[in-house]
Amino acid sequence: MSIIEEIAFKTIRSGGEAVEVEFKDGYEEIFPLSGPSGVSLGIRLESSSNEANSLRADLYGIAKKRRRVTVGGDEYELRCRVYDRFGEDAFRLEWRQVKPATKARRQKSCS
């Protein structure tokens, strides 16, 4: 599972609606959003690290071509918007449910 899939998975499972990733003081800061407010996920990646580079590459890739992930048997389509934040690229990762789990699949995924 890629870092972006792991972040989306955790945020979806906790009821979040989106994730924002911004550069600040040499780090990529990750903020899950629920409604108009965001809460730090406790993940700060040093911007020069391999993980941060992988995260940005995944986000740019999703901005060009949506990706699907499965959480609890439900399938979600990830979308990403890139925007300018004080001269740096920032990202907003959102999703929508495209295929709800059937009752049998949901029971199996809970086990």
- Name 89's Cβ contacts closer than 8 Å, sequence gap at least 6: 23, 56, 82, 83
* Side-chain-side CA neighbours of residue 68 (13 Å): 9
CATH number at residue 87: 3.30.450.90
When divided into structural domains, the chain yields a total of 1
- Per the structure, the complete domain to which residue 60 belongs is given by 3-110
Q: Is the pLDDT of residue 39 over 90?
A: no
pLDDT attached to residue 15: 85
Q: What is the pLDDT of residue 54?
A: 94
If you average pLDDT over every residue of the chain, what do you get?
85
Q: For residues 36-67, b (16+ Cβ closer than 10 Å) or e, as one string?
A: eebeebebebebeeeebeebbebbeebbeeeb
Whether the pLDDT of residue 71 is over 60: the answer is yes
Q: Residues 74, 9: contact at Cβ < 8 Å?
A: no
Phi-psi region of 87 (alpha: psi -120 to 50; beta: other; left: phi over 0): left
Band (110; pLDDT cuts 50, 70, 90):
very low
pLDDT at 40: 53
